[in-house]
Every structure is written in C-alpha cells, then in structure tokens.
Amino acid sequence: MLNPRLDLLTDYPFQRLSALLHGPAGDDAPLVMSIGEPQHRPPAFVAEILAREAAGWGKYPPMTGTPEFRAAVARWLTYRFALPIGELDMDKHIIPLAGTREGLFQIAQLVCGGAMGGKPPVVLLPNPFYQVYAGAALLAGAEPVFVPATKDTGFLPDFAGLPKDILDRAALAYLCTPANPQGAVASLALLKDTIELARRHDFVLAVDECYSEIYEGDLAPAGALQACAELGGDYANVVVFHSLSKRSSAPGLRSGFAAGDARLIAAFGRLRAYGGAAIPLPILAASAALWRDEDHVEVNRGLYRNKFTIAHEILGDSLGFYRPQGGFFLWLDVGDGEKAALALWQKAGIRVLPGAYLARPGADGVNPGQRYIRVALVHDLDTTRQGLTRLAEVLVTA
C-alpha cells in the first residue's frame, strides 16, 4: 500500500508546466528559462580536484564528511557572517548534505512529532514558496500554514502576525532569504525578531540561504547565524542551509550543508545515518576548495548583475519589473501567469514558470502567484538578451 499522504501532494511545478506546454513551440529555438539551474562554468579547479581524488570513488564516505570540508565551511561561515572566531564548532554545528533539497525535506521529519493538543503540528511556509517545504510538511504528518509573502508584505512572510494558537502548535517554520522566487532579503532586524519568535513558541526556524551570495549592491544579505550571534551567540532553534549549486554554479555536485543548533545537528546525524546520502570523497575535496575560494563567486555575482541590467534595458518599467535584492529570478506581473507562459511557448519558444505553480490559494481563495511568471536568468549574457527580447516581443510590444 502507498502512503495515503502522497495523495495530498500536488504535481510538482515542472510536471504541471510540462502538461501546460504539451504542444509545439514557436518557430524560434526553444529556450528554457523556467529552471533555476545555473549555466555559468564552475572554476576549472573543480575538475582537476575530482580527477586527482579519483581513488576516493572506491571508498564509502563518512556521513559527517571530512574534517577538511567541515573546517572550510566553518571558516567560510565565520568570515561571511561576521561570527566570533571559534564560536562555530565544525564538529557540533555543521553537517554536510547531498544538496540542500534533502536537508530541507528531512528537517520536517526531524522535528514534526506527534499531535500537539490533539491536533497535528504546524509547519509555517511563505506563500509563494519552494515546493519541497510543503511536501516535507505533508509527508511528516504536519499541517502546512501558508503565510502571504506578497508585494504588500515586502515579499516576505509575517510569521509574527499569526494567531497565538497557530504559533503555539508550530514545530517548524521555513524562511527563504533571498527569497525564491521574489528575491526579497530579510533584514538583520527581521531575522532577529523571527528567531526570538521561534524561541518563545519553541519551534525550529529553518532558513534557506541558498541564494545568499547572489545579491545587488555592496552589502551582502544578513544571515540567521549572524542574527544569532548578535542575540548572544546561541544557535538554539535555528538551522541554516547552504549549497554550492547557486554560489559556485555547481548544481551537479549535489553538495551543501546545514549548520546551527548543535542539538538539531546531532539529531540530523542520527536521522541521516538511516536515510541520508553521504557526499563522495572526491566531491567533498572539491567542495572544500570551493568554500575556500571567493574569486569565482565575485565573478559569478557580477554576471548576474549584468543580466539584470540587460533585463532593465529591455523591459524598462513594464510587467512590474524590479531588480531583486538577491537571487537570479525575475518575478514579472503579467496578469495571468499560465496564459503568459503558454503564449511565450507557442509564440517564442520560451519556457517560463507560472507563479501560481509556486503558491497555494490563501484564505481569500486567491493564489498570490497567479498574476506572475518566474524567469530564471541562468544563461550566458547573449542568450539572456535574446530570451528577454523574445519575451518582450510577446508580452510587452504585442
């Protein structure tokens, strides 16, 4: 028998997109701008390290990774988020993940236990959201509560505005900053307030920071561990998730980590011993080198900034265009996301994602993503310019 909770899952966004765009594309060569898969080349040293460490493919890797990997991550977190030297213990506060998707899914299995006051535990999610959050909540037996993250709220959820009975039942809250898909960045003050809220109501705050290294301006986005440090240094109730997929344009490595509350990281280790995928030794070696190098990250960030400049040149103020604070998506107001996505495919061969596929209807019955499309600016500059020009010809100048 199948787990009946599987029936609660809607089709994944890209399955829905395939069903929508089942017909032929337009005359132009198809261009996929729906998937957030970075197309920039990772540093050449990645391939060199993988070749040099090839003997490691013949060994079972430790679930906790290598000391070199954990040390590189601890140094990077300390430098990047201005943590006190030595505060982050690489053996207590960090655990590697085979990409952050599995960790973001497993955190719900870790913290969503039995009923709370005769009712299932609650998982708080921004709406729109990364779909893994909802799948994790439902399959953990929890009740997902979708919190609006719309233009009116600065594209970030207001967890503090929820009723006390919901907060008291909360076992977990997901916060993505910079946000996928809208690119909003949580301020340090908001992070501190949210951490204090989690501690008052004793739920875990899972902060998805996978886009933290792609940002506008000179000021890097604040992080949840940084907020913890300013609150006194205790990581209680907080786990952050990072990956090399976006930062280093290395999605195929499937390499990331979780860091934070030592009690939760230890429990993560026990859970993953039964159902986690250990990162192979050659990948751990390449990953450690990537976390130690910032030069390629700066180049990467500059390419994304150039692409947003191109987008502004082509779109101007149409379709509600704005330069997001972080990430590499455009979140364009097209009136009807499905209709626009279908038109772009049929007339210009462009695949984009309807915003409704990334959200759920609110209490008012309105899906906050319905008006939008998400456009991933992951290609090279010339391809990006061509794609956005074709998009504008359909949606702006038609």
pLDDT tens digits for range 288-305: 999 999 999 999 999 999
pLDDT at 102: 94
Q: How far is CA 30 from CA 158, 315, 333, 341, in A?
A: 39, 21, 22, 13
**Radius of gyration in angstroms for the set of CA atoms belonging to the chain, rounded to a whole number:** 21
pLDDT value of residue 398:
62
Q: Is the pLDDT of residue 351 over 70?
A: yes
**pLDDT (tens digit, 9 = 90+) per residue, 139-170?**
999 999 999 999 999 999 999 999 999 999 99
As a whole number, mean pLDDT of residues 30-54 equals: 97
Phi, psi of 242, rounded to the nearest 5 degrees: -135, 160
Q: Are residues 34 and 354 in contact, defined by beta-carbon separation less than 8 angstroms?
A: no
pLDDT at position 390 is 97
Asked whether residue 28 carries a pLDDT value surpassing 90, the answer given is no
Mean pLDDT, rounded, for 259-274: 96
Q: Are 303 and 41 in contact (CB under 8 A)?
A: no
Whole-angstrom distance, CA of residue 171 vs CA of residue 135: 15
Name which of 206, 180, 201, 202 is nearest 191 in CA terms.
206
**Residues 20 and 11: beta-carbon distance below 8 Å:** no
Q: What is the pTM of this model?
A: 0.97
> What percent of the chain has pLDDT above 90?
91
Q: Identify residue 42 by its one-letter amino acid code.
A: P
